[in-house]
Structure formats: C-alpha cells, structure tokens
C-alpha cells in the first residue's frame, strides 16, 4: 500500500494550477453514452476515479481516444454492452451515473448496486424512483439494478432529499425522454451546472440548472460536442486549507472563487487575507488561525467535501470550533486519525467539538476515504516532525499529482512503497 511521508512545519509558498473537477468530469464522461457523436473533453483531471470510469465505459463498447494530457475523446457509437459490473462499481460509486444515460439511449441497463462506503450507506433509491416515474421498469436483484424502457417519458419528479448524482442521472435520462421532465428539489452544485452546459452543447434542452427546479425538454437524439471541465473547487479549497494551516502564502491558478464563497468566507473569518481575480485565488495566512465553526449542507451552503479539511485547520487554530455534518451519517472517520496527531476533538452525534492546540505532533496515520486523507495531509503539513499516511490510494482517487503540487509549494512530501 502506498504511503505518503510528510515532514511538517514548512509554511507553503508559491503557486500551482488547479485541475479539472472530479465531480464534474465523472457525470460528463457518462454523458458520452447519450450520443453516437464524438465528445472532445479538455481540462480532464487524470485521477484514479476517471481511469476507473474510462475502463468501465470501454467495457461497454465506448471507444476511448488516446490519452493526450488533459484532453480526451469518447465515441459511444459502438455501445454494445450496457452492463456496469460489481467489481468496477464497488471501487467507484459514481459508476451509478451510467444508469440514466444507458436507459435513455440504449433502452436497457444492468448496473451493480454501488453498496456503501466509508462515509455512509449511500443508497440510490432516488435515482431509481425518478427513472421509474419516467416509465422505466426496474428490478433490483442479486445486487444489480436491471432497468428497461422502450422510451422514457417526461415526468414531474421531486426527490426526497437533495442528491447530486441523483439530479445528474435524472437530467441525463430526461434529455432523450419524450416530453418535458421537471426535477424539483434538484441539487444546485456547480458540477450539475457544468453537466447541464455540456448536455446543452450536445443539443439537449435544459433550463434551470443551478436552481432547485430543472426543466428538460426531451429530444430525439444528441450530437457530439467539445467541453472543458470546470475547475475543481474542492481541490482548490483543500490547497487553501493547506496554506492556511501552515501560515503560508499561495496562489492557485486556473480556478475561481465563484463556487467557493462559503469556504473563502470561512477562511477569511479564520484570519486569512484572500485576493481574487477572474481565474486565481491568493491566500496569505496569519501566524495562527482563529477557530471557525461550520455546518455542512447542500450548495450553496458549506460543502461536506470540505468538512474534513476544516477540521484539520481548526485542530491547530486558536479557540474552539463546532463542526456539524448534516449530509452523511459517518463522515468523521478522520477524527480518530487526527487525534493520533494530537488533535483535541470530541464527537457528539453529528457534531465535532474541536479545541485548537498549539502544535500537532507527527505520527503514523491511515487514510479511510478521499477527503479524510486530504484532511490528514493538511494536518501533517502543519504538524511538527514526520507523519506517514498509509493507504493513500484514497488520495489518488481525487487529487491529481498531489506530491508534485505540494513540492511546488515547498512542502516536504514523498511517496513510499
Ligand atoms: C456527490 O455524491 C459527490 N460525488 C460527493 O463527493 C459529495 O460528497 C456529495 O455529492 C454531496 O455533495 C460525486 O459527485 C461523484 P448525494 P452523491 O446523492 O451524489 C442521500 C467526494 O469526496 N441519498 O448528494 O452520492 C445520501 O445518502 C464525494 O468527491 C439517498 O438517501 O451524494 C446522502 O446522505 C464524496 N438516496 C445525501 O442523500 C439517494 O438515492 C446526499 O447524497 C441519493 C442520496
């Protein structure tokens, strides 16, 4: 298992470019299934999850163009195997995003239930309920979702809770359905908007993305298009936290604070000086941060994907913070590992009370999920001495070239076999 050894106590400085957004790239790659045309992507992040999805699409008969840096073409005209097998889906839950497109374009799909993950049960009942409302016949047996539909019909759907990939699956399915689909209680995340923009460039008729009511007028067919993946706002926030926790000064390029208002506001509350341009963010950290409390909720509120990273900065801040996680039932897996570094954290239900300490001490810790591992990197950079983070394959799922980017910012981090 790969490990990452970090020598803490270095104030990060310098500038790096942010990669394309994992959580925009995954649904947008699945959108290629909706057409026989060719899709040409740019700013595609080379992540483990992206590689897993490309492997899944290739198994379905999608022609994957040569990997050319951040550019990638996909051609699903040869789609012939609408199956997403358990051995791939269990490693990447977002594979569920092939369900809507396969059903809409191919009329059938056999997709493994994703199963739970470290942060929660992660059911997909809303995806299924919405597709059934559009006329799909769906049976769940032997761990697989078996779905059929001659042609989906537009419907009015209101999901029981805000679901990002649920909204994305239904929006993709609706783009080829007969008639109008209205998705109420829709997720407003920027990645939903990026997917909608890609679908529109393919000829779909989508309006309202970014609000809680999305309307889709189904069309007969969609065409190929070119699309640049939006910047990764969570990667952006993660490096801002790393700079904040180490008292550093960094400039992040190819990104925007447009989708990070709540995160930028919290970092300013913590005492950071932040300067924004159209495509960059500069953070200048104070010698010591002030504690900041937060509560996660669907966009535009504070993102759950930044909760763990903020627990790390609060661990070394001056004061006491309360962190409330309202989206996932088990997203405090990083707490025990942060405590190994000397963090003072008490969990009370879905609240974590974090009392800042003057210094964390390096130790051996274990990554449990993607953002928990990011939290451990932030804490290790701030800690005194060396920290070795085990199971960092979790990091590779969502952070492109992390060691190189950290090195460009002056961090002492090296991968160990
Ligand atoms: C997306 O997951 C993201 N993943 C997650 O990012 C992110 O944490 C999450 O949205 C919330 O913002 C991708 O976009 C690939 P949800 P998703 O459906 O869509 C419940 C990362 O670190 N729910 O919005 O799976 C669910 O259990 C990852 O990059 C149902 O009950 O999340 C959760 O409590 C982690 N039934 C809540 O809704 C359903 O059918 C929100 O989940 C669907 C969801």
| Backbone dihedral angles phi then psi of residue 94, each to the nearest 5 degrees | -65, -5
> Which residues face 412 on adjacent strands?
7
Tokens describing residue 3: 């490990």
Mean pLDDT of 362-391: 97
> Ligand 1 centre and the CA of 307: distance in Å?
14
Tokens describing residue 154: 């537009």
Q: Assess contact for 233 and 269: CB atoms under 8 A.
A: no
Categorize the per-residue pLDDT at 1 as very low, low, confident or very high, splitting at 50, 70 and 90.
low
pLDDT recorded at residue 121: 79
Categorize the per-residue pLDDT at 120 as very low, low, confident or very high, splitting at 50, 70 and 90.
confident
pLDDT recorded at residue 274: 98
Q: Assess contact for 3 and 388: CB atoms under 8 A.
A: yes
Mean pLDDT of 185-200: 98
The sheet that has 320-324: what strands, in order across it? 294-295, 320-324, 351-355, 344-348
C-alpha to C-alpha distance for 77 and 204, rounded to whole angstroms: 18
Nearest CA to ligand 1 atom 7: 305
> Ligand 1 centre and the CA of 342: distance in Å?
30
Q: What is the pLDDT of residues 82-113, one digit of tens each?
A: 999 999 998 898 999 999 999 999 999 999 99
The three-state secondary structure class of 228 is strand
- Tallying the residues shown for the chain, one arrives at 417
C-alpha to C-alpha distance for 19 and 70, rounded to whole angstroms: 9
C-alpha to C-alpha distance for 375 and 371, rounded to whole angstroms: 6
Q: Using the Cα atoms of residue 263, residue 264, residue 267 and residue 268 in order, give the sign of their dihedral.
A: negative
Q: Is the pLDDT of residue 115 over 80?
A: no
Q: Assess contact for 396 and 408: CB atoms under 8 A.
A: no
Q: Assess contact for 388 and 376: CB atoms under 8 A.
A: no
C-alpha to C-alpha distance for 46 and 111, rounded to whole angstroms: 24
Ligand 1 atom nearest to CA at 304: 8
What is the end-to-end Cα distance of the chain in Å, rounded? 6
What would you report as the CA-atom Rg of the chain, rounded to the nearest whole angstrom?
A: 21
C-alpha to C-alpha distance for 85 and 119, rounded to whole angstroms: 22
Q: Is the pLDDT of residue 41 over 80?
A: yes
Q: Is the pLDDT of residue 181 over 70?
A: yes
pLDDT recorded at residue 312: 98
Nearest CA to ligand 1 atom 18: 163
| Backbone dihedral angles phi then psi of residue 323, each to the nearest 5 degrees | -110, 120
Task: Please give the C-alpha separations between residue 69 and each of 17, 21, 44, 73, 76, in angstroms, as whole numbers.
Answer: 14, 15, 8, 12, 21
Nearest CA to ligand 1 atom 44: 163
pLDDT recorded at residue 417: 83
> Ligand 1 centre and the CA of 250: distance in Å?
30
Whose CA is closest to 254, among 270, 239, 244? 239
Cβ 76 under 6 angstroms from ligand 1: no
Ligand 1 atom nearest to CA at 127: 40
Cβ 238 under 6 angstroms from ligand 1: no
What kind and span of H or E run contains 24?
helix 22-30
Ligand 1 atom nearest to CA at 119: 35
Question: What is the number of other CB atoms lying within 10 angstroms of the CB of residue 395?
Answer: 24
Mutate to test the pocket of ligand 1, among 24, 164, 171 (most ligand atoms within 8 A of CB): 164
Task: Please give the C-alpha separations between residue 214 and each of 97, 183, 200, 314, in angstroms, as whole numbers.
Answer: 18, 5, 13, 37
The set of residues, in sequence order, having a beta carbon less than 8 Å from that of 179 and lying 6+ positions away, is 153, 154, 217, 218
C-alpha to C-alpha distance for 298 and 66, rounded to whole angstroms: 36
C-alpha to C-alpha distance for 387 and 188, rounded to whole angstroms: 37
Nearest CA to ligand 1 atom 4: 23
% residues pLDDT > 90 (the chain): 95
Q: Is the pLDDT of residue 405 over 80?
A: yes
- Choose between 109 and 119: higher pLDDT: 109
Q: What is the pLDDT of residues 317-333, one digit of tens each?
A: 999 999 999 999 989 99
% residues pLDDT > 70 (the chain): 100
Mean pLDDT of 238-242: 98
Ligand 1 atom nearest to CA at 128: 40
Question: What is the number of other CB atoms lying within 10 angstroms of the CB of residue 261?
Answer: 12
Mutate to test the pocket of ligand 1, among 122, 167, 193 (most ligand atoms within 8 A of CB): 122
Q: What is the pLDDT of residues 50-87, one digit of tens each?
A: 999 999 999 999 999 999 999 999 999 999 999 999 99
- Choose between 119 and 315: higher pLDDT: 315
Answer yes or no: 117 catalytic: yes
Tokens describing residue 164: 């990002």
Cβ 273 under 6 angstroms from ligand 1: no
Mean pLDDT of 139-166: 97
Q: Using the Cα atoms of residue 288, residue 290, residue 296 and residue 300 in order, give the sign of their dihedral.
A: negative
Mean pLDDT of 156-172: 98
Q: What is the pLDDT of residues 268-320, one digit of tens each?
A: 999 999 999 999 999 999 999 999 999 999 999 999 999 999 999 999 999 99
User: Is the pTM value of this prediction over 0.95?
Assistant: yes
């Amino acid at each position: 298992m790969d490990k990452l050894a970090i020598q803490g106590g270095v104030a990060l400085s310098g500038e790096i470019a942010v990669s394309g957004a994992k959580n925009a790239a995954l649904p947008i790659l699945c959108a290629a299934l909706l057409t026989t045309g060719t899709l040409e992507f740019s700013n595609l992040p080379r992540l483990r999850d992206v590689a897993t999805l490309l492997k899944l699409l290739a198994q379905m008969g999608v022609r994957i163009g040569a990997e050319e840096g951040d550019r990638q073409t996909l051609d699903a005209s040869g789609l012939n195997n609408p199956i997403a097998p358990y051995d791939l889906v269990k490693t990447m839950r977002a594979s569920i995003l092939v369900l809507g497109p396969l059903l809409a374009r191919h009329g059938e799909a056999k997709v493994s239930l994703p199963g739970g993950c470290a942060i929660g049960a992660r059911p997909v009942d809303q995806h299924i309920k919405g597709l059934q409302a559009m006329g799909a016949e769906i049976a769940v047996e032997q761990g697989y979702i078996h779905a059929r539909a001659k042609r989906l019909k537009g419907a009015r759907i209101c999901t029981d809770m805000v679901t990002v990939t649920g909204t994305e699956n239904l929006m993709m399915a609706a783009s080829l359905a007969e008639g109008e689909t209205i998705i109420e209680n829709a997720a407003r995340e920027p990645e939903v908007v990026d997917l909608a923009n890609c679908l529109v460039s393919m000829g779909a008729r989508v309006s309202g993305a970014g609000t809680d009511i999305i309307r889709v007028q189904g069309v007969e067919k969609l065409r190929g298009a070119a699309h640049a993946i939006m910047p990764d706002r969570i990667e952006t926030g993660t490096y801002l936290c790393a700079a904040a926790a180490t008292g550093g000064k960094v400039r992040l390029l190819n990104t925007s604070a447009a989708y990070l208002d709540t995160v930028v506001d919290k970092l300013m509350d913590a005492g950071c000086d932040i300067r924004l341009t159209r495509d960059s963010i500069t953070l200048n950290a104070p010698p010591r941060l002030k504690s900041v409390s937060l509560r996660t909720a669907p966009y535009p509120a504070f993102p759950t994907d930044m909760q763990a990273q903020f627990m790390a900065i609060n661990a070394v801040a001056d004061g006491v913070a309360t962190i409330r996680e309202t989206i996932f039932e088990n997203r405090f897996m990083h707490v025990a590992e942060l405590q190994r570094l000397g963090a003072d954290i008490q969990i009370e239900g879905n609240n974590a009370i974090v009392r800042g300490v003057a210094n964390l001490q390096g130790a051996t810790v274990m990554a449990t999920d993607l953002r928990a591992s990011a939290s451990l990197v932030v804490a290790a950079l701030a800690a005194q001495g060396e920290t070795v983070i085990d199971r960092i394959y979790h990091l590779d799922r969502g952070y492109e070239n992390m060691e190189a980017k950290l090195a460009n910012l002056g961090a002492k981090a090296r991968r160990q076999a």
